[in-house]
Amino acid sequence: MILNKVLVANRGAVAARVLRALNEMSIPSVAVYSEADAGAPYLAYASESYYIGASPAKESYLNQDRILKVLQESNADAIHPGYGFLSENFGFASGVVALDKVFIGPSPKWIEAMGHKTKARELARQYGLPVGQGSEVLPPDQAKVAAAARKIGYPVLVKPAAGGGGIGMLPAYDEAQLFEAVERARSMAERGFSNPDVYLEKLLEYPRHIEIQILGDQYGSVRHLYERDCSIQRRHQKVIEEAGAPGINREVIDSVTDNVTRVMSEMQYDNIGTVEMLMGEDKSFAFLEMNTRLQVEHGVTEEVTGVDLVQSQILLAAGARLDVVLPKDISIEGHAIQARVYAEDPKRFFPSPGKLTIFRPPTSKNIRVETGYAQGRDVTPFYDPMIAKVIAYENTREQAILSLKEALKEFEIEGVKNNIPALLQALDSSEFKCGKIHTNSLSEIMAKNNN
């Protein structure tokens, strides 16, 4: 199948990234924008653009009816959903397919299967992936909730079954905390995901967050493109990611990637996806969840493998075979690290909306910047406050750390607060430099430096 025109149903850095890929492939493109994003710099990359509503996401980027109407009005034959917003929405993907259009992602059935965390955990278990201790969706009965927590053993983590992005993930160290956390998580899940279902996982205090990038085609072939380490997080949200994972024996990680590839092949998964795992202090791996979309951190994998994941995703959705899309042999060459730059307070991590009176990204050698902003643009309170991704690629991890630090120091931002001081603290820490990191490392590093 030849795609004649693709609608990009997103905004910001990912819209810019997908539009760039479409231009490189000589595929005409359609951008959409809200009131807040009128005049955004990446709109100039599109062949045409459509206004889709007011600034709040529910009135624009989450407005399925409006986006599907633009899909028809523009005569586009495919939609790329980017990440966030509707990228993992089963109803939206099904709506695209029902219009006889191409959804650039996996089949809707995979979005549905992996979108509900407890169902995804059970599916992973059935296919032989190791899965950590956890519960089913919690019932209203407090006695049954308490029994589920006792069976797992404290501490536990309450998590929305249909959520993501760290929203509604709350720890509980005893029964009193448990009931409060469950009620709060249910409320947050209902507001954030229109689904109040929550469940429990065993809370690992110092895990590594390791994820496996895969690509599949519509003919049963699946390959992995190695791993990423996403352990540097704040409030369960990734802020620094790298490829490959430091300090893990290559044989160990190869065993994990091979097992994930086997499972996804048996399932016949059919486009881009990321299997997220937690590595415990005992070096064991357990399935966490699967994201059925392009990841924010995809760029570090592109840098070390030389594979353009966005173009690959588009070709696979159009029916190309994996052995045509990917080279026969893919290996990790060098090291790449990404830092997410947010418009937020660098200590408390609260969003800092405002006008970017100065916005000058770094231009250093071996530095890649992905952004949807330009000087003079407003960072609004309506969307995620990430304003740029800065990626350093070098021959060694040590060189990549140094290059990324220099690039962040070169990045000039005024008009809003930003998290670059926190990123530099992490990159400068002995823990990060030696690769002894875990999902609580950033909070520990900042507590040590800010006392």
> pLDDT digit string (tens) for 113-142?
999 899 999 999 999 999 999 999 999 999
**Lookup result for tokens 């000039």:** 412
Structural domains of the chain, ranges and CATH numbers in brackets: 6-104 (3.40.50.20), 132-202 (3.30.1490.20), 208-450 (3.30.470.20)
Q: Mapping DSSP to helix (H, G, I), strand (E, B) and coil, where does residue 122 land?
A: helix
Decide: 165 and 238 in contact? Cβ < 8 Å: no
Amino acid at 337: I
Q: Is the pLDDT of residue 383 over 70?
A: yes
Q: Is the pLDDT of residue 73 over 80?
A: yes
Q: Is the pLDDT of residue 450 over 80?
A: no
For residue 360, the model assigns a pLDDT of 98
Q: Pairing mode, if any, of strands 358-360 and 170-172?
A: unpaired
83-87 own/partner pairs: CB under 8 Å, 24+ apart? 83/10, 83/14, 83/293, 83/294, 83/295, 83/296, 84/10, 84/14, 84/165, 84/384, 85/9, 85/10, 85/57, 85/61, 86/9, 86/61, 86/62, 87/10, 87/293, 87/294
Structure tokens at 242: 């790298």
For residue 66, the model assigns a pLDDT of 98
Is 293 catalytic? The answer is yes
Q: How many residues does the chain have?
A: 451
The secondary structure element, H or E, covering residue 447 is helix 441-450
Point out the catalytic residue in the list 121, 293, 340, 397: 293
Q: Is the pLDDT of residue 240 over 70?
A: yes
Q: Is the pLDDT of residue 161 over 70?
A: yes
DSSP secondary structure string for all residues of 379-428: E-TTS--EEEEEEEEESSHHHHHHHHHHHHHH-EEESS--SHHHHHHHHH
Q: Is the pLDDT of residue 205 over 90?
A: no
Backbone angles phi, psi at 156, to 5 degrees: -125, 165
Q: What is the mean pLDDT of residues 342-347?
A: 91
Q: Is the pLDDT of residue 192 over 90?
A: no
CA 373 – CA 379 distance, rounded (Å): 8
Q: Is the pLDDT of residue 29 over 80?
A: yes
The alpha carbon dihedral of 240, 189, 195, 182 has a sign of: positive
CA 151 – CA 177 distance, rounded (Å): 16
Q: Mapping DSSP to helix (H, G, I), strand (E, B) and coil, where does residue 4 land?
A: coil
For residue 162, the model assigns a pLDDT of 85
Q: Give strand ranges (E) for 63-107.
A: 78-80, 102-103
Q: Is the pLDDT of residue 226 over 90?
A: yes
For residue 109, the model assigns a pLDDT of 96
Task: Give the pLDDT band (50/70/90) at residue 194.
Answer: confident
Mean per-residue pLDDT over the chain, rounded: 95
144-148 own/partner pairs: CB under 8 Å, 24+ apart? 145/178, 145/179, 145/182, 146/175, 146/178, 146/179, 148/200
Beta bridge partners of 278: 209, 286
For residue 451, the model assigns a pLDDT of 65
Q: What would the pLDDT profile of 262-318 be if each residue is shown by its tens digit?
A: 999 999 999 999 999 999 988 899 999 999 999 999 999 999 999 999 999 999 999
